[in-house]
Amino acid sequence: MNMRTFTVICLIAVSLTAQNLIKNGNFAKRTADGKPADWVVWPSRMPEGASVELDTTMSASAGCSVRIMQTQTDMYSRVEQIVPCKPHTDYIAFFKSMGKEINSPHGGMVRMYIGPHGSLDRQLTSFGPAFDYYKLERPANWSYPWKRYESKVFNSRDSKSFGVCLYLNNASGIAWIDDVKIFEYTPELRKEIEAGTGRRQLMIDLEQLRTNAQGWEDVLKKLDDFAARIAKWYPEPRSASLDGIPYYALHKELIAVNAELLQKRYPGRGIIVTEAEPLHPGTHLKAELPPTPETIEVMGLCGELEPFALDFTNGKSVEVEFELLPPEELPLELRLATAVELDEGKSVDDALVLLRPDEKGQIRFRVPGGMTRQLYCVVHLPNQAGTVSTQLAWKTGDDSGNVKLLVTTSHASMPEMAPIHSFGYLCHNHGSFWRKDEASKAILQRMHQNAEMISHVTSLRGVFDDAGVIQPDKMNWSEVDRALAFLPPGSLLVFNVLLTHNPYMTLFLGKNGEQEIAPFSPEWESRVTQYLKAVIAGFKERGLGYDRFVFCLKDEPTPRELVNMEKMAAVIRKIDPQVRIYNNCNSVLSLEEIRKLASFVDIISPHRNQLAPDYLDAYKGKEIWCYWVQNKSVPGYQIRDFFLELKQKDVRAFSYWCMADNGNPWYSAKQSYSILFPGDDREWIPSKRSEGIRESIENYTLLTLLEQQAPDYYQRIKNTITPDNWKNLRREILRRLK
């Protein structure tokens, strides 16, 4: 049974237990003039270069689909219908799509959009290929195969009908849409959907085992039997997130099949320990295993953290418990690289869960039969230069082993303030982050964070009397003071001044009787002037000079927002010309629009994919920062390697989305961009991505120290540095530093 057949079986189960609210969701019915029955095509008169038509040559269901084709990136076409629903009831939606040569530089792309009360004025949910496209950073001419998309569970609220549309918006290219469904989210359907997700997780591993088992028919036959069992299986409640894979008893049984394959390749070898790249994704179903290393060399700055990783592969069919025997000469932080979900059924070992001594003072972990678990080890380097030779040992009930560690500490150390500013772009002042004060301080220090973005709505509101006069003594500065207390001395504040958009304007500027304060009116300018002067004065009272704060205008602006942003920048310069103005930008803006933005800011922060030469020319004369909207699909090593480019291009700050958001980063039901994981009361659990940022800042600092101490050598190697040669260059730089 292959993966496609298995998916069909899962969806048949869903279809048999629920009624699809969508009429003609497979587009098999058509009107006399060849249009999809029960659907309305919009616009009714298509512009030249756009079309919405039935296509009998492409289908994921009943032999027909809707094809939306557009030749310009500013076009918008859709199919829509109104469907009845029950008020205050949960629903879930699905559709399938395929795309060819999609370009969507201004947002939009392919989505299913559902609105309340039979309208499309506002959304209850929106989902589809657009979100894959954004994760891939809007590639040019993007094509994707047929894929099934699933909404989050959403509530109808007081609606008796939904407005439903599937669209290609602000994009050129071709999108095919098929198999559209909306179901009431009943307990029975929930059970089937959860079973489908669990089955997909197991089938991904089963397909990997098929690959590992090529040539061994006895194992392939066993895997066929597993496929039949999985198709009828209902999962028990999942094991705790911190335990990672395997999530279920049947999952554990399936993984144990890999032990048979390992024994065929490595007869008699029960436990196999190999070195791994710490920030690279691992696999829990290894087929080929390199030799066990004799010595691992670790080298870094005084007092800093240096990682290495070991893969523990269990070639036995039964679970094995390991006891770790860390060195006495050096503090060694031992963490298990733990799987988190990326998408339905997919996972990656991003979370780094700390192993703590048990009540007997022993550090233990278990590896199920046939599985590989990665141990992420962090050496806490001493505060003096030198070399230490030691070992990390382990033992099981009937086996033992060790690896030698050669740990070298450089003469140089991190300065109190890293030479590049870094911060999380989600303003986390009021979230769970601040409720774990000590843990939050520890992770910020670990990651060398030296900047903070202050929330533009909740952190520092203006207080005005009835006459529109500001009352600075009544403004609440506690969030600013708290942020500064969490950061090292000399850190930077990034302050949002979003004063031209309701409802934020009322929160900032108060009310003018019963009248709204129109942006850029005399009353508006009076209050903005008073407010910003009060903010600047408050910053100065806290020791923040003009080099310690910047004003941000608008996150990821669209082209139509540039006019008001330029006006806002002019107001700020009129109030105080010494204030530095900062803004980010991404591919929503064209190159010429980015030039426009750069003309009225001091600091520009492009997204990571906008550091090409033509973009750098647009930023000429400006201080350049950079940001990256990353997620769990981004390996930690990619972030680390990217920083080499930042130093080469003299980028002065790096921000990311985000430190800790409101999603659940362990699961995929709600996308989370958090680089930290909850689940441990004593710390924020780091990820390979947060460790990638930490290492990035340390590497950037290494190059800065080299630039200061050996400028000729730095200039000679600066533009020759690549991720491939960095490991050896880094060792040479550490030896040179004083």
224 three-state secondary structure: helix
- Is the alpha carbon torsion for 123, 128, 129, 131 positive or negative? positive
User: What CATH number does the domain containing 77 carry?
Assistant: 2.60.120.260
Query: What letters, b where the CB count within 10 A reaches 16 and e where it falls short, cover 297-327?
Result: ebbbbbebbbbbbbbbbbbbbeebebbbebb
- Is the alpha carbon torsion for 583, 584, 589, 591 positive or negative? positive
Q: Is residue 554 part of a domain?
A: yes
- Res 343: pLDDT: 76
Residue 40 structural domain? 19-185
User: What CATH number does the domain containing 482 carry?
Assistant: 3.20.20.80
Question: Is the distance from CB of 562 to CB of 596 less than 8 angstroms?
Answer: yes
Structure tokens at 706: 């080299």
Q: Is 117 exposed, middle or buried (0-12, 13-18, 19+ CB in 10 A)?
A: middle
Cα distance between residue 338 and residue 358, in whole Å = 19
- Res 431: pLDDT: 61
- Res 72: pLDDT: 94
- Res 458: pLDDT: 67
Q: Are strands 492-496 and 451-454 parallel, antiparallel or unpaired?
A: parallel
Domain finish residue from 117, 152, 185: 185
| Nearest to 314, CA basis, from 282, 351, 266 | 266
Q: Which helix (H) or strand (E) holds 207?
A: helix 187-212
Domain finish residue from 678, 696, 714: 696
- Res 12: pLDDT: 42
Number of domains in the chain: 2
Contacts of 45 (CB under 8 A, 6+ apart): none
Would you mind telling me the total number of residues written for the chain in this entry?
738
Cα distance between residue 588 and residue 466, in whole Å = 41
Q: Is residue 565 part of a domain?
A: yes
Cα distance between residue 286 and residue 554, in whole Å = 47
- Res 587: pLDDT: 80
Question: Is the distance from CB of 639 to CB of 697 less than 8 angstroms?
Answer: no
Q: Is residue 77 part of a domain?
A: yes
Q: pTM here?
A: 0.89
Q: Is residue 691 part of a domain?
A: yes
Q: Is residue 395 part of a domain?
A: no
- Res 427: pLDDT: 56
- Res 738: pLDDT: 87
Q: For residue 288, count other CB atoms closer than 10 A to its CB.
A: 9
| Nearest to 412, CA basis, from 439, 442, 384 | 384
Q: Is residue 375 part of a domain?
A: no
Contacts of 668 (CB under 8 A, 6+ apart): 341, 342, 343, 344, 346
- Res 9: pLDDT: 44
Q: Is residue 731 part of a domain?
A: no
Q: Which helix (H) or strand (E) holds 217?
A: helix 217-232
Q: Is residue 464 part of a domain?
A: yes
For the chain, which residues score pLDDT lower than 50? 1, 3-16
Domain finish residue from 166, 185, 204: 185
